[in-house]
């Protein structure tokens, strides 16, 4: 059987060797290939237990972040917040939820991509507007938050953390104090920040939701109850709507600001929409398989990706297995396309804590064996194709290949249901340093040798785009073409021979430009 050398590398067992390089990048660090983004949720439902609805929704979004969790509730008079490090079940108990009555709430589960870990970085973040408190939850990353933090610090705004999310909360608070209108404060902030973001915000008597003008980070709107009832939810994924009994209505439009209060739902544009650039990794990895994007389940898309992968990179094997959970639908499609048996060759331990927070390198290196174990009864004496969602740092693939060989597999062929991840992401995925990406430093042949596989194949970018719903996507992690301009002070995160291809200039206004516009419009006093 002939394989394309552009997509598949085959390595004889006797030639297998370790590719030399920086060991701290090649074999150390976190054992997981990718870290999830954050998840956000908001609910306006005055006659319901909004804290518990938010708690259950965060359960559905737990896969998006396990560092910390938090809930903020507006009770008509003030905003109450409970947040801490850990999983949702570790942060909240029944007494906590009983102590948070209200009509409106937001929730957040965090994996940190900008700023330190710890309680101070847990969300929602607070800000004050005179006597009014607001709380903000954010999914994504802002590429220019350092300069904006400096601007606020020069105006005597203090911070508890070094996160981009707190900068956004303080920006909104600052401009709302000047203009006395929260939606104006949000719109002013949207004109200043750059990156990918979806945010939900609560005050004592209203819920706000808004999204970056490229639509990089997802946000959907749902309705609870009978038609005509003023009960609404917003969430990062539709799976959170399902768990609270909400009906999907639509996506929050890129650049849109939604406000929900006793007066119902209203909408205005904080920024004009720009070139649509949905994060394509929502389809590949981040979203739960039961979530719906553009009318199709993520499961069905990943299944089709597996079929396309089999067409592009076939293999003569006895069995196809998937790396749980995100690699399984693609593995099923791969097996169906080649008419090869599909089996469960890897068992996932769903009750082990995330290993990247463990204090020692030795424990981190045990991460894969803590999370996965091979079924020797299934894989022994068989030629195996192992399908995973992606190969990012290569460490996980290397360890899983060895697990399967230890379990008796005679051949292990690795297939990635996404193209090579060779460029860093700055919009909410934990791959913000190109030095960490194995495909940026090694050829397909070298990666194959490094992970110890008999062959290695990647889905082409054209093949991936043929499988996902037709819309605009951010594919910068594959191509190096960025829809939101990457500032020059980020260029040290690229390999010396590479630089980002910014598809557009920076759209963000300067701080003084926004202030002057507000002054000219009579929305802000000329003297501070």
Distances, alpha carbon 180 to alpha carbons 154, 186, 203, 292, in Å: 21, 11, 14, 38
| pLDDT greater than 70 at residue 236 | yes
**Three-state DSSP class for 154?**
helix
| Full-model pTM | 0.89
How does residue 16 score in pLDDT terms, banded at 50, 70 and 90?
very low
| pLDDT greater than 60 at residue 116 | no
Q: What is the pLDDT of residue 117?
A: 58
Q: What is the pLDDT of residue 161?
A: 84
Tell me how far apart the alpha carbons of residues 312 and 335 are, in angstroms, rounded to a whole number.
13
| pLDDT greater than 70 at residue 424 | yes
Q: What is the mean pLDDT of residues 459-472?
A: 97
Tell me how far apart the alpha carbons of residues 283 and 292 are, in angstroms, rounded to a whole number.
10
Tell me how far apart the alpha carbons of residues 437 and 148 are, in angstroms, rounded to a whole number.
29
| pLDDT greater than 90 at residue 448 | yes
Residue pointed to by tokens 């290949």: 401
Q: What is the pLDDT of residue 23?
A: 28
Q: What is the mean pLDDT of residues 161-170?
A: 90
Q: What is the mean pLDDT of residues 195-204?
A: 97
Active site residue 467: no
Tell me how far apart the alpha carbons of residues 78 and 204 are, in angstroms, rounded to a whole number.
5
361 or 320, higher pLDDT: 320
Q: Which of 219-223, 276-280, 495-499 has the lowest mean pLDDT?
A: 495-499
Residues in contact with 180: Cβ distance below 8 Å, sequence separation at least 6, in sequence order: none
Tell me how far apart the alpha carbons of residues 299 and 303 are, in angstroms, rounded to a whole number.
6
Q: What is the mean pLDDT of residues 46-57?
A: 97
Q: Verify cis geometry, omega within 30 degrees of 0, for the bond prior to 124.
A: yes
| pLDDT greater than 70 at residue 9 | no
In order of start, what are the domains of the chain with their CATH numbers?
A: 8-30+282-495 (3.40.50.2020), 39-139+181-274 (3.60.20.10)
DSSP E strands, 6-50: 8-10, 39-44
Q: Verify cis geometry, omega within 30 degrees of 0, for the bond prior to 38.
A: no
Instruction: Quickly count: other Cβ atoms within 10 Å of residue 152's Cβ.
Output: 18
| pLDDT greater than 60 at residue 25 | no
Sign of CA dihedral 169, 172, 178, 180: negative
Q: Which of 20-29, 135-144, 202-211, 398-407 has the lowest mean pLDDT?
A: 20-29
Q: What is the pLDDT of residue 15?
A: 34
Contact assessment for residue 140 and residue 217, using Cβ atoms and an 8 Å cutoff: yes
Q: What is the pLDDT of residue 442?
A: 96
Mean pLDDT of the chain: 89
Distances, alpha carbon 84 to alpha carbons 169, 200, 239, in Å: 18, 18, 24
Q: What is the pLDDT of residue 181?
A: 94
Token duo for residue 106: 């937001």
Q: What is the pLDDT of residue 293?
A: 97
Q: What is the pLDDT of residue 415?
A: 98
How does residue 365 score in pLDDT terms, banded at 50, 70 and 90?
low
Token duo for residue 68: 């910390």
Tell me how far apart the alpha carbons of residues 229 and 366 are, in angstroms, rounded to a whole number.
51
Q: Which of 109-118, 297-306, 363-372, 376-385 has the lowest mean pLDDT?
A: 109-118
Q: What is the mean pLDDT of residues 394-415?
A: 95
Distances, alpha carbon 262 to alpha carbons 76, 232, 256, in Å: 10, 11, 20
Q: Which of 75-84, 123-132, 165-174 has the lowest mean pLDDT?
A: 123-132
CA count, 13 A, side-chain hemisphere, 456? 26
| pLDDT greater than 50 at residue 279 | yes
Which listed residue (9, 38, 448, 477) is catalytic? 38
Q: What is the mean pLDDT of residues 301-320?
A: 98
Distances, alpha carbon 464 to alpha carbons 169, 176, 301, 418, in Å: 36, 43, 9, 7
Distances, alpha carbon 268 to alpha carbons 105, 210, 249, 252, in Å: 21, 10, 17, 11
């Amino acid at each position: 059987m002939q394989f394309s050398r552009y997509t598949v590398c085959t390595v004889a067992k006797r030639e297998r060797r370790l590719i030399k390089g920086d060991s701290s990048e090649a074999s150390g660090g976190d054992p997981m290939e990718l870290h999830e983004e954050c998840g956000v949720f908001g609910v306006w439902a005055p006659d319901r237990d909004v804290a518990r609805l938010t708690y259950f929704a965060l359960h559905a979004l737990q896969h998006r972040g396990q560092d910390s969790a938090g809930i903020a509730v507006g009770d008509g008079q003030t905003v109450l917040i409970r947040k801490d490090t850990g999983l949702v079940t570790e942060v909240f108990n029944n007494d906590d939820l009983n102590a948070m009555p209200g009509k409106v709430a937001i929730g957040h589960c965090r994996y940190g991509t900008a700023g330190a870990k710890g309680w101070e970085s847990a969300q929602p973040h607070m800000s004050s507007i005179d006597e009014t408190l607001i709380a903000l939850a954010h999914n994504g990353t802002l590429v220019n938050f350092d300069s904006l933090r400096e601007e606020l610090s020069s105006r005597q705004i203090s911070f508890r953390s070094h996160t981009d999310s707190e900068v956004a909360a303080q920006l909104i608070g600052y401009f709302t104090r000047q203009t006395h209108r929260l939606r104006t404060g949000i719109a002013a902030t949207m004109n200043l920040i750059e990156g990918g973001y979806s945010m939900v915000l609560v005050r004592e008597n209203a819920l706000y939701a808004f999204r970056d003008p490229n639509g990089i980070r997802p946000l959907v709107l749902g309705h609870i109850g009978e038609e005509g009832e003023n009960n609404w939810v917003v969430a990062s994924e539709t799976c959170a709507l399902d768990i609270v009994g909400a009906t999907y209505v639509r996506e929050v439009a890129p650049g849109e600001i939604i406000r929900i209060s006793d007066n119902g739902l209203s909408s205005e544009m904080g920024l004009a929409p720009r070139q649509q650039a949905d994060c394509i990794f929502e389809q590949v990895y981040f979203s739960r398989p039961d979530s719906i994007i553009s009318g199709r389940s993520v499961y069905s898309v990943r299944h089709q990706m597996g079929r396309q992968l089999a067409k592009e990179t076939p293999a003569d094997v006895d069995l196809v297995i998937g790396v749980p959970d995100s690699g399984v639908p693609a593995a099923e499609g791969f097996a169906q396309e080649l008419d090869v048996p599909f089996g469960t060759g890897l068992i996932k331990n769903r009750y082990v804590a995330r290993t990247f927070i463990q204090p020692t390198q030795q424990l981190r290196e045990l991460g894969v064996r803590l999370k996965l174990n091979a079924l020797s009864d299934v894989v022994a004496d068989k030629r195996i194709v192992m399908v995973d969602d992606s190969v990012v740092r290569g460490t996980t693939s290397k360890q899983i290949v060895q697990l399967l060989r230890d379990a008796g597999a005679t051949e292990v062929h690795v297939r990635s249901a996404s193209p090579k991840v060779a460029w860093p992401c700055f919009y909410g995925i934990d791959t913000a340093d190109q030095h960490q990406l194995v495909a940026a430093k090694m050829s397909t042949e070298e990666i194959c040798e490094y992970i110890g596989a008999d062959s290695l194949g990647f889905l082409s970018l054209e093949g991936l785009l043929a499988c996902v719903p037709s819309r605009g996507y951010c594919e910068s992690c594959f191509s190096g073409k960025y829809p939101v301009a990457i500032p020059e002070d980020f260029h040290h995160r690229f390999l010396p021979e590479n630089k980002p291809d910014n598809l557009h200039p920076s759209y963000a206004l300067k701080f003084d430009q926004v202030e002057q516009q507000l002054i000219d419009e009579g929305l802000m006093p000329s003297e501070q």
